[in-house]
């Protein structure tokens, strides 16, 4: 079913389609399946393709057209696309089989948080560096004993002149190996109540007394790492939102992390669904009623994601802030994908238990879905935490653990 977003949106779609057709380097779309993004660990095939000169040229052209961070306001180097326009742009990239360029956590999470809480001087300094990829960020929120309980972080920073000196440990840091900056939540007032003594700091990641080590996952990839801060330094200028006011900024960041791309997330699952149908055919089970039931379940879930995305888009288009749908969406796609991985593993049968030949610990794409989708129900807030948020903030139920 096609959804009519009106003549203005249709014109915009046509202009983007033409721009893409005129600017995508020949051969980029067929280099790899860009619509299959890695869930954790990135997709090794795509990572290789990103090193191609075609990709570099694509990135250069997008940048020249202000289409990196296209939804950022023009004054910050974006193209000022509305939520609807941005969704259309993303759909058109997906339709053309082309990559959406994002280098780290700056574009979707740190940048918007600086726009919301940074000073004009911080915006002027940090935002262009994200667009140019001079600064590529990773996210240093979690600690060994503080994941869900984020406000309990123990990494501390003390003032030394006009710098903060940071000690502590962060963990589960995705794509740390690409980053030259890490944004952290750290304790700057140990005597304040736990949410109030925190600061949100942009810390130079390299040559700054930070020891970073890879952590290997069950998929065989070592996509995330742990970092030991032993006197790392960051200028006070790098504190966003003011000292001891980091919790508010962190909540903005998490809102963008959980709600980001809500209107276009279904694109990836739609493609994945048809791949699953293909798998059912390949193993000769496409007429099996139980398998058909599972496929129908998966298809209807993808459509629910699509319509939920449109609802979120309508909300944004009418100028409203993202609501608790950030949590419902995150809960829905992550639980869906985990179940989908189980369906795929069932279709694979015994083959699913054998890893492909090769060095290291190679796994097939469906094994990756089965294993890595488990992580989706943990990162960006676990499913239990999302349910708590929905219960307390959306449905107004009593807080978890409260007596009545
Ligand atoms: C693939 C992946 C990538 C990640 N990338 C990053 C990253 O880049 N940066 C970063 O900072 N972190 C990252 N994380 C860490 C992630 O944010 C944490 O793992 C997550 O917040 C959970 O914290 P935890 O692991 O400490 O588990 P815990 O908080 O110890 O939770 C353990 C279990 O207890 C449950 N639980 C905890 N509290 C409650 C409660 N109040 N009510 C009900 N149940 C509860 C949880 O749901 C979970 O099942 C990543 C994690 C994964 C898996």
Q: For residue 39, what pLDDT is reported?
A: 46
DSSP letter for 26, please. Answer: T
378 lines ligand 1 (CB under 6 A): yes
104 lines ligand 1 (CB under 6 A): no
Closest CA to 174 of 334, 40, 43, 375: 40
Distance 398 CA to ligand 1 centre (A): 22
> What are 134-160's pLDDT values in tens digits?
999 999 999 999 999 999 999 999 999
Distance 171 CA to ligand 1 centre (A): 10
pLDDT > 80? residue 262: no
Q: For residue 260, what pLDDT is reported?
A: 61
Ranges 14-23, 106-115, 204-213, 214-223: which has the least confidence? 214-223
Distance 378 CA to ligand 1 centre (A): 5
373 lines ligand 1 (CB under 6 A): no
CA-CA distances (angstroms) from residue 114 to 107, 204, 241, 242, 245? 11, 16, 8, 11, 13
Consecutive H or E run containing 198? strand 198-204
Per-residue pLDDT band for 3 (boundaries 50, 70, 90) equals low
- Atom 32 of ligand 1 has which residue's CA nearest to it? 148
DSSP letter for 354, please. Answer: S
DSSP-derived secondary structure for 242-260: -TT-HHHHHHHHHHHHHHT
> What are 18-41's pLDDT values in tens digits?
999 999 999 999 998 887 655 444
Q: Compute the distance between CA of residue 96 and CA of residue 90 in angstroms, rounded to an integer.
A: 10
Q: For residue 37, what pLDDT is reported?
A: 56
Ranges 47-61, 322-336, 340-354: which has the least confidence? 322-336
Report whether 198 contacts 166 (CB < 8 A). no
Q: For residue 43, what pLDDT is reported?
A: 54
Domain-by-domain residue ranges, the chain? 7-101, 110-245, 261-394
pTM, rounded to two decimals: 0.92
Which of 143, 250, 382 to probe ligand 1 with, by most ligand atoms within 8 A of CB?
382
382 lines ligand 1 (CB under 6 A): yes
Q: Compute the distance between CA of residue 350 and CA of residue 207 in angstroms, rounded to an integer.
A: 48
Topology alike, domains 7-101 and 261-394: no
Structure-token pair, residue 125: 């300094």
263 lines ligand 1 (CB under 6 A): no
Report whether 36 contacts 272 (CB < 8 A). yes
Q: Compute the distance between CA of residue 244 and CA of residue 192 in angstroms, rounded to an integer.
A: 9
Q: Which of 143, 257, 294, 337 is catalytic?
A: 257
- Atom 12 of ligand 1 has which residue's CA nearest to it? 142
Distance 139 CA to ligand 1 centre (A): 13
pLDDT > 90? residue 384: yes
* Mean model confidence pLDDT for the chain: 90
Closest CA to 89 of 111, 113, 66: 66
Distance 112 CA to ligand 1 centre (A): 23
The CATH number of the structural domain formed by 261-394 is 1.20.140.10
pLDDT > 50? residue 404: no
The CATH number of the structural domain formed by 7-101 is 1.10.540.10
> What are 186-202's pLDDT values in tens digits?
999 999 998 999 999 99
Q: For residue 49, what pLDDT is reported?
A: 87
- Atom 45 of ligand 1 has which residue's CA nearest to it? 384
Structure-token pair, residue 140: 């240093």
Which of 38, 139, 142, 258 to probe ligand 1 with, by most ligand atoms within 8 A of CB?
142
Residue 257 known to be catalytic: yes
- Which superfamily does CATH assign the domain made up of 110-245 to? Butyryl-CoA Dehydrogenase, subunit A, domain 2 (2.40.110.10)
177 lines ligand 1 (CB under 6 A): no
Ranges 16-30, 160-174, 187-201, 324-338: which has the least confidence? 324-338
Distance 401 CA to ligand 1 centre (A): 19
Helical axes 83-95 vs 265-282, angle rounded to 10°: 30
pLDDT > 60? residue 78: yes
């Amino acid at each position: 079913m096609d959804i009519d977003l009106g003549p203005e949106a249709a014109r915009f779609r046509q202009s983007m389609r033409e721009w893409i057709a005129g600017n995508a380097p020949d051969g980029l779309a067929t280099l790899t399946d860009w619509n299959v993004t890695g869930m954790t660990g990135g997709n090794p095939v795509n990572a290789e393709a990103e090193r191609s000169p075609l990709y570099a040229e694509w990135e250069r052209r997008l940048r020249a057209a202000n289409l990196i961070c296209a939804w950022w306001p023009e004054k910050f180097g974006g193209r000022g696309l509305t939520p609807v326009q941005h969704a259309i742009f993303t759909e058109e990239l997906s339709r053309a089989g082309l990559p959406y360029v994002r280098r780290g956590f700056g574009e979707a999470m740190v940048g918007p948080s600086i726009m919301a809480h940074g000073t004009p001087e911080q915006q002027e300094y940090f935002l262009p560096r994200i667009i140019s990829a001079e600064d590529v960020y990773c996210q240093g929120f979690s600690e060994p004993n503080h994941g869900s309980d984020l406000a309990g972080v123990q990494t501390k920073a003390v003032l030394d002149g006009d710098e903060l000196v940071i000690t502590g440990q962060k963990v589960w840091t995705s794509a740390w190996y690409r980053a030259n900056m890490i944004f952290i939540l750290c304790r700057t007032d140990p005597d304040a109540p736990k949410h109030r003594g925190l600061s949100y700091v942009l810390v130079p990641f390299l040559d700054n007394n930070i020891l970073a080590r890879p952590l290997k996952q069950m998929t065989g990839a070592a996509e995330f790492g742990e970092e030991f801060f032993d006197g790392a330094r960051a200028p006070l200028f790098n504190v966003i939102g003011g000292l001891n006011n980091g919790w508010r900024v962190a909540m903005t960041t998490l809102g963008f992390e959980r709600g980001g791309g809500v209107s276009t997330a279904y694109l990836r699952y739609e493609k994945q669904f048809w791949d699953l149908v293909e798998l059912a055919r390949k193993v000769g089970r496409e007429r099996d009623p139980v398998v058909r039931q599972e496929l129908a379940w998966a298809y209807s879930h993808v459509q629910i994601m699509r319509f939920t995305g449109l609802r979120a888009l309508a909300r944004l288009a009418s100028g409203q802030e993202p609501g608790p749908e950030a949590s419902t969406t995150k809960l829905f796609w992550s639980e869906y994908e985990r179940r989908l991985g189980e369906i795929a593993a069932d279709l694979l049968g015994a083959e699913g238990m054998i890893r492909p030949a090769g060095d290291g610990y190679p796994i097939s794409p469906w094994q990756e879905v089965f294993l890595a989708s488990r992580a989706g129900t943990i990162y960006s807030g676990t499913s239990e935490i999302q349910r708590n948020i929905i219960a307390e903030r959306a449905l107004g139920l009593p807080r978890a653990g409260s007596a009545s």
